[in-house]
Amino acid sequence: MAKRKKRITVSISSARGRLFELADLVRQGGDDTVVVFEQRGTAEGVALVRESRLQYLEARVQELEKSPGKPFKVRGSLKLAVSADEFEQMLRQIRHEWNTTSTIDK
């Protein structure tokens, strides 16, 4: 059976008096335990998570933001009915037409 994520939403005013209780809940819960503080008039809440979870998430984001060393190229999966030069010329023509006829941002 899969473990359920534990996510609790609390208004920031009521969380003020329960801060130690909520901190213990996060500390004793699994890495997926989150307490979200909401404040009236704000669009986004603020989350209380374990430090180890925050470090994991920051490392994952950093990993995802790394740019790849070389661009990815697919080999052997595309067969053209025309030569590579003809294909490039057609692409240039399509791009030119797209740029001259597009009404986006004009």
The position carrying tokens 């404040």 is: 39
Two structure tokens written together for 106? 């004009």
Assess if residue 16 is contained within a domain: yes
pLDDT at 72: 67
pTM of the model: 0.55
CATH number of the domain that 39 lies in? 3.40.1620.10
Residue 83 lies in a domain: no
Is residue 84 in a domain? no
Into how many domains does the chain fold? 1
- DSSP SS3 for 3: coil
DSSP reduced 3-state for 106: coil
pLDDT tens-place values along the chain, 106 residues long = 445 568 899 999 999 999 999 999 999 988 889 999 999 888 899 999 999 999 999 999 998 888 666 766 767 667 788 888 999 999 999 988 887 765 555 4
Give the residue numbers spanning the domain of 36: 7-65
What separation in angstroms does the CA of 74 have from each of 33, 46, 81? Answer: 41, 42, 17
- Residue 93 forms part of a structural domain: no
- According to the model, what pLDDT value does residue 1 have? 43
